Structure 1
Amino acid sequence: MVLVTAGLALAIVFWNASWRPARNVVTIVHEAGHAVVALLAGRRLSSIRLHSDTSGVTVSRGRTEGPGMVCTALAGYLAPSVLGLVFAALLLGDRVGTVLIVCAALLLGVLVMIRNLYGVLSLVITGGVLFAVSWLATAEVKAAFAYLITWFLLVGGVRPVFELQRKRRRGQARDSDADQLHRLTGAPGLFWVAVFAAINTGALAIASAWLLLP
């Protein structure tokens, strides 16, 4: 089951036809990462928007510079991989139910702050799938679904980083998280893309060792 769900997650992420709709899930977690860290940093969360091109925007109020703003900007691209690593640790302890509960809590938290129709639709569809599996599926299907979510977040957290750099190279992402971090810290945007890539691939490697090695 672990190998099959890993292979399925890879197929979803690297097949463009499936990646486009599935990427909405990564965007939900990305924006949730911004939102959670903004609240932890003492900022005031205003709104979250999810767009049909799979982009998203999280607006928070507070200081426009300083460690809190840096951490908030940093959190988005790291959130899917970090959450996937947490889920991998939970699955090691056979805590399938906890994985599904965390997913439900995350969707509910984002839904409270969503401010556009497409965002609501994305969350309702995602939540509907989660509800169906949680309440109607057998224990084996729930476990397979939890593993699939985990692998998808881990692998799906890596691809957007490389997509980001391609857009930056073409001048199409001038207000990306990496470029915001450049303006906040002075470190080049490419440095922050490398940080995203290193942490996310590291999370994938660690989780793979946990789940695949005896």
Structure 2
Amino acid sequence: MRIIIADDHAVVRSGFMHILNYQEDMEVIATAADGLEAYELVAKHRPDVLLMDLSMPPGESGLIATGKIKEDFPETKIVILTMHDDDEYLFHVLKNGASGYVLKNAPDEELLKAIRVAHDDGTYIHPEMATSLVREFVKKGADSVETDPFKILSKREIEVLPLIAKGYGNKEIAEKLYISVKTVEAHKSKIMEKLQLKGRPELVQYALKKKLLNF
């Protein structure tokens, strides 16, 4: 199977490349440093599996990239590799189309198993986290859809919101996302309107509650 690795640390990419290329049924064909580069490489190579880090500052996050890649290249299976042992992260990456969720401190054998399961159209989640996933689905089922920012905000608004919460000004956000200041202002207005927030303090509180600050 043809694999692309996306991680913001070169030493991590090198290490996983060595592990995967040692397998008879796996070949790493490219590596990326953030979600945007991962998208471009998937578009170019159409790999069987993308091994994606969840958080890749200052580049595009794995969560945002996962949604974009699965929407445009659904045939590529995505396995998330992360340090976040957290129900919210797990829930959202699976909703965005990931086929696997593996912690970075997991044994090599678990990573290899996750890649093979995903390649065979399955979904791999560490057994301990599977219980958390069930609890999270039950919890989400009890909540209204409107409480989920990933349902009511656009992908660009999901990118803008944490930058606002972190205190960046309109000009700084515009430079980071390669958009105009006027566009940033429009996104801010839409975010506040959609989430029914009255000011930056409420927005910061919302971002913290929904664990959006890493994206």
TM-score normalised over the length of structure 2 = 0.30
Higher strand share: 2
Q: Rg larger in 1 or in 2?
A: 2
**Structure with bigger RCO (C-alpha 8 Å, 6+ apart):** 1
- TM-score (normalizing by structure 1): 0.30
